Structure 1
């Protein structure tokens, strides 16, 4: 693989970790942040302390606050901003691409669905970025907490694009001995799996706070994956995708780790904390909060049964007691597995 110019838009934990992987692979990496103080810290100390503590960042990562400086001449753009900021940042990117008459491969590494429109992140990017500026479009998904990636915990992800050539290109750019990239062409299933696992992770955190043990957690995990798969298939996803990295893999990591903001949010909700206080305490975006509402609405529109998602919706948006909601889940009529 030749030395590529890679722009990473978003200097949160995951954006920084991906930038670090690319730099360790010998690429020219520009990490964009709109916070000048964050840019200075990364360039001067090779740390991003707000998001990744004292972990070192490869000196090949150059942080910039000017997006044009990041994108100019780039071969690959990784969009790693929160779902709610995706369109705004994409519009800024388009203005630069128009000015420079430049085409790039764009990969989203954000796991969410847009409220109101129900658009997946790749769909949002496709709507905002004219095709003449796109050399390819896809997503990166899989079980990949930034805190593990930055300390070289062996990590497997999948590069997903309807165009397998694009997925293979990203695979070549990012793969190394501790960060292994597979390819997939099921964008719909991968994005739905990556987004909805955050909902189940909130439920897993709530179970933890209530003192439930492995039986309850395994039940939530298994039945949660089943309802994610049902919704995904209603949108044309390949059911096999949910048995892979963007499905069961990502769900396991997010629903069991203290690194997961969604899991930690669930713990606090289970402790009886108000949602506003949970969000304020986290200090970072909790994608599962908005995704719970979106998934609940999509389930109704598609007539897909999603009892765990519905339960988490009532906890988050109707302020119902977590323990009562869990008991109601257990009291549902029994049925045949696989339905």
Structure 2
């Protein structure tokens, strides 16, 4: 099968490596002038892995679309709408399957990423998502994990899971696009909160964060029409270990750096997702105390230590 991967950052490059490893022909697309693309073109490796020679590199979006039946997108979530507009102008797009491998929500609108690409490209394509736990650093050392592939079309879900399944990544069928997308995006929000707790030397409160965070997001999923039980699956709770505790998690590391007064240069999607979830909280009239506290810290200059102490340590009330 011919598969193209659009985006050559850490995760996109890994996906190309993985899809090739499970037996598919792969083209990896990147922007011609991007640092990641130039580095891969020059020596076929990044900080995490070396690309096999059979993976074709291209900066032509038209070539990447025309040669593949399945196209996997791994770019910044906030860039998806403008990127989808560009994809929509390509003639060969009709009938192809696009798999979104990003975990985020559009910050300005609160829309899920499948909604964003559906609005821009519409009924011309099949849309699926690939979410769940896992770090490149572990996968390339042959440490396995479980992930989720979901689509509104169960036949697309089954086909993708069958084509991509292996002993390294065991795929489960996602049955709830709302829950899986929202869960995947908001686990990054909880990762930022976990990093702040680490930076404040309150790491023991991460258990409370996990218990209360899942409850909070499940209420939002239910209000949006999804299945609140999905939050306790792989897309959200199942990804907490990789996001709230791992040294590799960009979101956790961002949160820790933030409260320690340090700069963190890499992409932490959870920051934009905090804005999006604030929008959803207002739109669906759902109280989200953890997400709201993070919004106040990140965007309203509230003191992180005082705000998180108020959130976790001072209320006296029934747990459920």
Distance 1:15 1:91 in 2: 20
The alignment status of 1:84 with 2:66, answered yes or no, reads no
Deviation of the 1:40 alpha carbon: 4.9
Partner of 2:89: helix, strand, or coil?
helix
Counterpart in 2 of 1:165?
155
The alignment covers a number of residue pairs equal to 319
Distance 1:194 1:11 in 2: 21
- CA, structure 1 residues 101+259, in 2 after alignment: closer, same or farther (shift >3 Å)? closer
Counterpart in 2 of 1:253?
242
Match 1:237 to one of 198, 215, 226: 226
Counterpart in 2 of 1:316?
298
- CA, structure 1 residues 113+262, in 2 after alignment: closer, same or farther (shift >3 Å)? same
Counterpart in 2 of 1:202?
192
- CA, structure 1 residues 297+332, in 2 after alignment: closer, same or farther (shift >3 Å)? farther
Deviation of the 1:141 alpha carbon: 0.6
Does the aligned pair in 1 maintain the 2:191–2:240 contact within 8 Å?
A: yes
Counterpart in 2 of 1:288?
270
Distance 1:41 1:249 in 2: 33
Q: Which runs of 4+ in 1 moved over 4 A?
A: none
Deviation string for 1:142-193 (max 9, x for gaps)?
Answer: 0122222233220211001111111111112211111111111200000000
Counterpart in 2 of 1:115?
107
Distance 1:295 1:252 in 2: 22
The alignment status of 1:335 with 2:320, answered yes or no, reads no
CA RMSD, Structure 1 to Structure 2 (Å) = 1.7
Match 2:26 to one of 14, 26, 29: 29
Counterpart in 1 of 2:279?
297
Which structure 2 residues correspond to residues 254-273 of structure 1 after superposition, within 5 A?
Answer: 254-273=243-262
Match 2:132 to one of 107, 126, 142: 142
Partner of 1:106: helix, strand, or coil?
strand
Which structure 2 residues correspond to residues 153-192 of structure 1 after superposition, within 5 A?
Answer: 153-192=143-182
Partner of 1:137: helix, strand, or coil?
strand
- CA, structure 1 residues 39+116, in 2 after alignment: closer, same or farther (shift >3 Å)? closer
- In the alignment, structure 2 segments of 5+ residues that lack a partner are none
- CA, structure 1 residues 224+168, in 2 after alignment: closer, same or farther (shift >3 Å)? same
Distance 2:228 2:4 in 1: 33
When the two structures are superposed, what TM-score results if normalisation uses the length of structure 2?
0.94
Does the aligned pair in 1 maintain the 2:109–2:276 contact within 8 Å?
A: no
Match 1:105 to one of 90, 97, 101: 97
Deviation of the 1:125 alpha carbon: 0.8
The alignment status of 1:212 with 2:206, answered yes or no, reads no
Counterpart in 2 of 1:12?
9
Distance 2:279 2:234 in 1: 25
Deviation of the 1:218 alpha carbon: 0.5
- In the alignment, structure 1 segments of 5+ residues that lack a partner are none
The alignment status of 1:222 with 2:211, answered yes or no, reads yes
